Structure 1
Amino acid sequence: MTIIATLIVLGVLIFVHELGHFMAARSVGIRVDRFSIGLGPRVWGFRRGDTEYVLSAIPLGGYVKMGGMDDQVMERIEGGAVAEEEDGAAGEGKVQPGRGSADASRTEAVPSAAGRRRDSDFDSKPVWARAWVISAGVIMNMIFAFFAYTAVAAGWGSAQADTTRLGQVVVSFLPEGTEELEGVPEGAHFTRIGDRAVEHWGEVREAILDAPAGPLTFQWDNPRGEITVPMPADAEERRRVVMGLRYWVEPELIFVEPGAPAHRAGVRAGDVVVAVAGERVHLWSQVQDLIRASPGREMEVVVARNGEELSFSVTPSSVDGITPDGEPQTIGQIGVQAQNPPITYTRVAPLEAVQVGWSETVFVTGFILNFLGDLVTGQVSTRNLGSIVTIGEASGQAAAEGLPVFLSFMALFSINLAILNLLPIPILDGGHLVFLGIEAIRGRPVSAEQRMRWSQVGFFILLGIMALALGNDFLRLFGL
């Protein structure tokens, strides 16, 4: 399942990205010699018109080879020569030996076989047209994410935890004046917030966010009670109220990461955590808090398994995290995940589904940008970078959760792919947009030699990032 899910995620999103380049190139009259899903040697393909459509051996990328483009750096990855006439001369639309294929965003151009640039060549087009072609892959990834989120909302509805049971109140999240919410007992089932009855956690969230500023009454059963607190007018403070209320999650483990501290100690999926560091627990949030507070310190974890309690000594890994106020903090992790409450989908109107799709796209984009910013400033460790191994694990888990979760994961990864492609690294779309910006400012392009050198630098930067991410996954799998 994991391998199939990973191939679907990579295949679809690479296709979407390269389709953007392809369609944009055709829209401005640029000849497309080759459209490839995958890198390396050609596995299968066919020709239609001037374009050869290809599946290549390595499913970690793709490229669109346009008229007049050449890239010796990418040639080594994408397989070099692909077609040759019997007499050694290249036919129309074919690639000569040594004329490697290149992604649409790669702009190293050489004269055509006739020794002159043709009107259908990439570099014969104005800067705006080339910028449009280079940007189109990223644009298509963002459009895909928006439509995927919208499709989930329209087809299944808005996903919410199917519970109103309160697990924990995190006072440190609550804005000033709302601290009395700490008085709501653990296990209470919210029944009404303000003038709205609530039946799942999504309605709890909406009732808080949509309530007018001023006194807001929370009512609950088990045991019956109510409390009134002043709701702030500021939207960000409202969100902090929502973040401060955690729904009930049992400490039953659904996943134990292979090689992680818990797995090495003997903890397994299906175990129910009953004590951590000498404290009895009955909520997943309690387990999280105790583990997060003990990075690098050995602790006892007691679990219930097959009617008996087993004790394990576990030393949480030290990772970079943040406090409720956004400050960097070292926290502990042992590599376990709890079983969340069942998910319920609430139907939404078509227009509301579009709004949900847009808001999810904007939210995820902001989240990824913030993560990258924290990575650059050192607030988040590079140990949080993952390789194809992490992508595969996440793809498999999302597929196991069902189609709506899988589509949502594909949308998230599509946004991630779009943002990474916009990084100003030569060989990526963002790097070549920088080249075009320089050309637009000074009135002449960066020389082919300079572009080649910078592309080689970018190539090795990418190799370094990939090696770092793969190393992180290797260390994680072995619990280092």
Structure 2
Amino acid sequence: MLTLLVFILILSVLVLVHELGHFISARKMGVRVEEFGFGIPPRLWGRKFGDTVYSINAFPFGGFVKVAGEDAGEVVDQTDPGAFFNKSPYKRLLILVSGVLMNVTLAISIFYVFFAVNNFKTSSLPLLYDYNFKYGQTLKNSTVIFGFEEGSVAKEAGVRPGESIYAVDGKRVFNVYDVRYQIKDKSGQQITLQLLDTRRLSASTRDVNVVPTADVSGNGYLGVALATSVVLDYGSSAFNRLTSGFQHALNILDYSTTTFSQLVGSSVAQKSVEPVSAGVSGPVGIFAIVGVILDYKGTDALLGILDFIAILSLSLAFVNILPLPALDGGRIAFVLYEIVTRRKPSQKFETSVHKWGMAFLIGLTVLITAKDVVNLF
């Protein structure tokens, strides 16, 4: 139950902050906001203050802002000064980008709180490929366990994903080659793995006794897949500490952009959306991650949730700014076209583009959710 409540709270905060950006900028630009709603309709309660109805809706996931004349398919009174479509393209551009800016601002603010508590170091970040972060000192850990083979003796002994092999029989190991060297002559013999949980902020270790099996060459074998994670340290100077929130946001955005580009490239090459759907998580995947974080209890859980909210907020900003139909980025693309050509696109054409875009996004979301459900079981 706690996991579900925290999950709903996280999604609601992220979406409401995003919509609040649109709401504030629309009001500032003189656009009439018809409704600011918490949750997804049907409406349970609503009250009108001025021109705006403030509502609470049945499904408590995020919220929405209904702006007069924003829907490209809506018949707009050309003399209505409060209609979104009648405002200058620059004002519409500011309104559209404000949601993304609010998500970025939320993420940076949370990063500063996190760094103040955690000595200006990040939590452990999985490194999916060879990538160099531009800011901060990178501390790599190349012995993180991210998977097991069927019948793995390490898994049977109680080793968990996300733990790092810190030492074997008291001897420090730094990479997969060190691990192989320490266990190659130990098949059938009990060894002690000193494990460090990379997902915890507190650097505590535990010992697990394992008896390696033998591979085809007769060498000791644990049946684990190792990966690399990194911790970024922004505490090397006063300037880095002062700008740590911005630096980390830039690091995460650049890493996300590069990763997404590679996933899209793979999808294009394979003529399939499978690489993209496999590389991202939907609501079910997010719910599962929240459950894992809450298992740590106390300060580790609280800071873990804060860090996760910040990462998700940046991810939401990144996805929304993509020039895809039905997203803010897609609507921004139409406004930029208008600014460059000094011609408004056809309302009918824009409506059609966004409808097809929404259908594609719904289909992709269903695919990602199905993948997450399969992974859970």
Point out the structure with the larger helix share. Answer: 2
Q: Please say if 1:462 is aligned against 2:323.
A: no
2:283 to 377, 388, 392: 388
Greater Rg, structure 1 or structure 2? Answer: 1
User: Is the CA contact 1:37–1:63 (under 8 Å) kept in the aligned structure 2?
Assistant: yes
1:417 equivalent in structure 2: 316
The Cα shift of 1:45 comes to 3.7
User: Is the CA contact 2:37–2:57 (under 8 Å) kept in the aligned structure 1?
Assistant: yes
User: Is the CA contact 2:326–2:354 (under 8 Å) kept in the aligned structure 1?
Assistant: yes
Q: 1:69 to 1:124 in 2, by over 3 A?
A: same
1:444 equivalent in structure 2: 343
The one-letter code sitting in structure 1 at the alignment partner of 2:361 is L
User: Is the CA contact 2:47–2:55 (under 8 Å) kept in the aligned structure 1?
Assistant: yes
1:191 equivalent in structure 2: none
1:472 equivalent in structure 2: 371
In 2, the alpha carbon distance for the partners of 1:425 and 1:238 equals 28
Q: Please say if 1:361 is aligned against 2:249.
A: yes
1:144 equivalent in structure 2: 106
Q: 1:33 to 1:246 in 2, by over 3 A?
A: closer
Q: Please say if 1:25 is aligned against 2:50.
A: no
| Paired residues, number | 326
Structure 1 vs Structure 2 CA RMSD: 4.6
Q: Deviations over 1:279-328 (max 9, x none)?
A: 9997686569989xxxxxxxx9x9989987577999xxxxxxxxxxxxxx
The Cα shift of 1:145 comes to 1.1
1:124 to 86, 89, 97: 86
The Cα shift of 1:124 comes to 1.4
User: Is the CA contact 2:41–2:57 (under 8 Å) kept in the aligned structure 1?
Assistant: yes
User: Is the CA contact 1:271–1:304 (under 8 Å) kept in the aligned structure 2?
Assistant: no
Aligned positions of 1:333-412 closer than 5 A: 353-378=241-266, 381-382=275-276, 383-399=278-294, 400=296, 401-412=300-311
Q: Please say if 1:432 is aligned against 2:327.
A: no
Q: 1:334 to 1:432 in 2, by over 3 A?
A: farther
The one-letter code sitting in structure 1 at the alignment partner of 2:94 is W
Q: 1:335 to 1:445 in 2, by over 3 A?
A: farther
Q: 1:468 to 1:263 in 2, by over 3 A?
A: farther
In 2, the alpha carbon distance for the partners of 1:417 and 1:2 equals 21
The Cα shift of 1:121 comes to 0.9
Aligned positions of 1:153-172 closer than 5 A: 153-159=115-121
User: Is the CA contact 1:30–1:121 (under 8 Å) kept in the aligned structure 2?
Assistant: yes
Q: Deviations over 1:123-165 (max 9, x none)?
A: 111110011100100011111111111222235531379xxxx
In 2, the alpha carbon distance for the partners of 1:455 and 1:411 equals 28
1:223 equivalent in structure 2: none
The Cα shift of 1:34 comes to 0.7
In 2, the alpha carbon distance for the partners of 1:268 and 1:392 equals 26
In 1, the alpha carbon distance for the partners of 2:149 and 2:356 equals 38
1:43 aligns to what SS in structure 2? strand
User: Is the CA contact 2:18–2:102 (under 8 Å) kept in the aligned structure 1?
Assistant: yes
Aligned positions of 1:43-58 closer than 5 A: 43-58=44-59
Mark the runs of 5 or more structure 1 residues left unpaired by the alignment: 71-106, 162-172, 174-235, 292-299, 315-332
The Cα shift of 1:417 comes to 0.2
In 1, the alpha carbon distance for the partners of 2:8 and 2:133 equals 42
Deviates further, 409-418 or 443-452 = 443-452
The one-letter code sitting in structure 2 at the alignment partner of 1:381 is P
Q: Deviations over 1:161-197 (max 9, x none)?
A: 9xxxxxxxxxxx9xxxxxxxxxxxxxxxxxxxxxxxx
The Cα shift of 1:20 comes to 0.3
> Which fold has the larger relative contact order, with Cα–Cα distance below 8 Å and residues 6 or more apart in sequence?
2
Mark the runs of 5 or more structure 2 residues left unpaired by the alignment: 124-129, 181-187, 194-206, 216-222, 268-273
User: Is the CA contact 2:142–2:227 (under 8 Å) kept in the aligned structure 1?
Assistant: no
Q: 1:303 to 1:411 in 2, by over 3 A?
A: farther
User: Is the CA contact 2:325–2:356 (under 8 Å) kept in the aligned structure 1?
Assistant: yes
User: Is the CA contact 2:44–2:58 (under 8 Å) kept in the aligned structure 1?
Assistant: yes
1:8 equivalent in structure 2: 9
User: Is the CA contact 1:157–1:348 (under 8 Å) kept in the aligned structure 2?
Assistant: no
Identical-pair percentage: 26
User: Is the CA contact 1:13–1:141 (under 8 Å) kept in the aligned structure 2?
Assistant: yes
